[in-house]
Amino acid sequence: MAAMVKSVEATVRPTMRFVWSHPAHVVSFSAGLGLAPGWPGTVGAAGAVVPAWLLLGLGWAWLAPIFVATFALGVWAADVTERALGVDDPGCVVFDETWAMALVFLAIPVDPWWWLAGFAAFRFFDIVKPQPIRAVQDGFAGGLGVMADDFAAAIASIAVVDAVAWALGRI
């Protein structure tokens, strides 16, 4: 199998037709959010607002298995889409951002200002990738690598936002 390239532009320019051509692409593109021009990861992360809002009433006894199952779904979908595009961790694959951002929203105080802080923290950690997030990204390949670094960024974001909320007496 040929080595994957680092940029989508070097091979295929995905379209909505491509997204809907396979269930894995629908998942990995978060139903098309990954086609957003400019900042698809930010759009994908913002796409977590509705799923997180719908899951708010569930306790962690329900949420934990949902997040484990959807993490596995994301690994599979990212693997399939990476192979189809011939690209390692394509920027248009945004389910990892959507999934991780939903995790952040559900683990911090439910308030628009805290959710905005969680969004900003997550995008910072996801884009900058300070250690150990960078080590997680570099330590895994394929769909697992795509999902794992965003999980690490989510954990860092939750820790920061919840620490500030705790310090301010909000939790």
Phi, psi of 129 (to 5 degrees): 50, 60
pLDDT tens per residue, range 8-34: 444 567 999 999 999 999 999 999 999
The residue extents of the domains of the chain are: 14-167
Residue 134: closest CA among 154, 161, 153: 153
Mean pLDDT, the chain, rounded, equals 93
Question: pTM for this one?
Answer: 0.91
Q: How confident is the model at residue 3 (pLDDT cuts 50, 70, 90)?
A: low
pLDDT tens per residue, range 92-107: 999 999 999 999 999 9
Q: How far apart are CA 14 and CA 32, in angstroms?
A: 10
Phi, psi of 108 (to 5 degrees): -120, 170
SS (H, E, C) the chain: CCCCECCHHHCCCCCHHHHCCCHHHHHHCHHHHHHCCCCHHHHHHHCCHHHHHHHCCCCHHHHHHHHHHHHHHHHHHHHHHHHHHCECCCCCCCHHHHHHHHHHHHHCCCCHHHHHHHHHHHHHHHHHCCCCHHHHHHHCCHHHHHHHHHHHHHHHHHHHHHHHHHHCCCC
Distances (CA, A) of 61 to 49, 57, 67, 170: 21, 11, 11, 23
The answer, yes or no, to whether residue 77 has pLDDT greater than 90, is: yes
Residue with tokens 């199998």: 1
pLDDT tens per residue, range 108-163: 999 999 999 999 999 999 999 999 999 999 999 999 999 999 999 999 999 999 99
The pLDDT of residue 13 is: 76
CB atoms within 10 A of CB 97: 28
